[in-house]
Amino acid sequence: MGEFELINHYFASAACAQGGEGVVLGIGDDCALLSLPPGEQLAVSTDTLVAGVHFPDACDPGLLGQRSLAVAASDLAAMGATAIGFTLALTLPEVGPAWLQAYANGLSRMAHRCRMSLVGGDTTRGPLSITITVFGRVPAGQALRRSGARPGDVLCVGGPLGNAAGALPLVLGQRQAPAEQAEPLLNHYWAPMPQLTLGQWLRGSATAALDISDGLLADCGHIAKASGVALQVNLAQVPVSPALQAFLGHDAALQAALTGGDDYVLAFTLPPEALAPLASLGFIEVHVIGRVLEGQGVTLLDRDGQDITPVQRGYQHFRETP
């Protein structure tokens, strides 16, 4: 099967490629055409997943299809954008019909959940890697950014942390667990749901936001640096799921929540008076975990108010080893 036959058979005909709101022209021409309502800006982000680095070489392609789109779409949530569409650049070592069909099906499932359309891309031969570029729209001047946190704001997260990091030993086959522990963790790893609705609500309320991909402490450091403030995280307020605590134990679960990464949950700052409206809209998973102060950097405090900030705060590509 050639490149164009592959694209037409598995992706141009996929459920996620049949157009949608804002898509004027999708797969089949040299470029896709997207339409924006008056007064809105285009939000664009690209994410690459490499076999053996971001996912195991041998894994369920349907689950991989879900995950590859979800982690990219999470960046739109972090900016408060409404999702429109995405492109897929897929590098394959070989053409496997069963693998491609399962991957396309998983991709379509997540695209349906995020209400976005596949509008183009590319395929080539080589080691397995997946690059997805997502497109969204946001009212002009209302995009959430990392640079607006102010002293006096509270620091919040959009849900429990650490589940994906806790799932990693299960994904790699290093450990087993009862279904009541394993399933919530594996579901979060393979199908993290981008918090698009929360991000859209936060427009006009949050002063800074991002999605947690490299670990809570590491990513909070990006907000602190961009905003020129200090963030103080209270260990006792960091939320972890019952499944994660049961699987790893209390201390290891907290460590996963602080530095594990792959959560794709929003972290954001906002004035304290904005919390009540947030709760009234049903965002019950939002937790206050700290506050914004004058200064710089991120500090982790224990239950006694002592500084216990670790040296290792999250994942980084190309980190130099001592």
pLDDT score recorded for residue 317: 46
Q: Which residue stretches of the chain have pLDDT < 50? A: 317-322
pLDDT score recorded for residue 315: 53
232-276 pLDDT per residue, tens: 999 999 999 999 999 999 999 999 999 998 999 999 999 999 999
pLDDT score recorded for residue 28: 83
pLDDT score recorded for residue 95: 73
Token pair of 161 as six digits: 């942390």
Helix-strand-coil percent breakdown of the chain, rounded to 5?
35, 25, 40
CA 196 from centre of chain: 10
281 by Cβ neighbours in 10 Å (0-12 / 13-18 / 19+) ranks as: exposed
Distance CA 267, CA 211 (A): 6
pLDDT score recorded for residue 269: 98
Distance CA 10, CA 289 (A): 44
User: Which domains are assigned to the chain?
Assistant: 3-139 (3.30.1330.10), 154-301 (3.90.650.10)
pLDDT score recorded for residue 314: 62
Quote the strand ranges of the chain, DSSP E. Answer: 23-25, 33-34, 40-50, 82-92, 117-125, 129-139, 154-157, 208-211, 230-234, 266-270, 287-293, 297-301
pTM of the full predicted structure? 0.92
